[in-house]
Amino acid sequence: MRIKQILAVGASILGLAAVSLPAHAAKVEFVNQSSWEIHEIYFSPASAKKWGEDYLGDEILEKGDTLTLSGVTRGKWDVRVVDEDGDVCVLENVYLDSSDRWVINDEDLLGCQAGTDE
């Protein structure tokens, strides 16, 4: 099943691109180009101690799929990604501005997981 969702959210994440949105909002795309399915994606304001909801819910971001979040508040965020094996990748203090595109590949995912204490 291909995920191509647009979700309105009040909080979210990271990447690099450009689209015209209101000054306070951003659009974020996650593209899974890794060899693993992504089962969970969480966001939290960088200063918070708790993770928000799992933005995938019961869905899976399969290999080659894209998840689009719109209406994301600009600022610093922490991002938590969990793959099909339960391996966790946490990126901290990611600055989100305008429209961002985050491509998840094998090298980045494995490197992030190795550096995550979870």
Q: Tens digits of per-residue pLDDT, 23-50? A: 567 788 889 999 999 999 998 999 898 9
How does pLDDT run across 1-30, given as a tens digit for each residue?
434 333 333 333 333 333 333 456 778 888
Number of domains in the chain: 1
What is the C-alpha to C-alpha distance for residues 19 and 64, in angstroms, rounded to an integer? 22
Which CATH number fits the domain that encloses residue 30? 2.60.40.2890
Q: pTM score, two decimals? A: 0.76
Q: What is the DSSP string of 52-109?
A: ---TTTT--B-TT-EEEEEEEEPEEEEEEEEETT--EEEEEEEEE-SEEEEEEEHHHH
Domain membership flag for residue 1: no
Q: Domain residues for 81?
A: 6-114
Is residue 91 in some structural domain? Answer: yes
Average of per-residue pLDDT across 63-71:
90
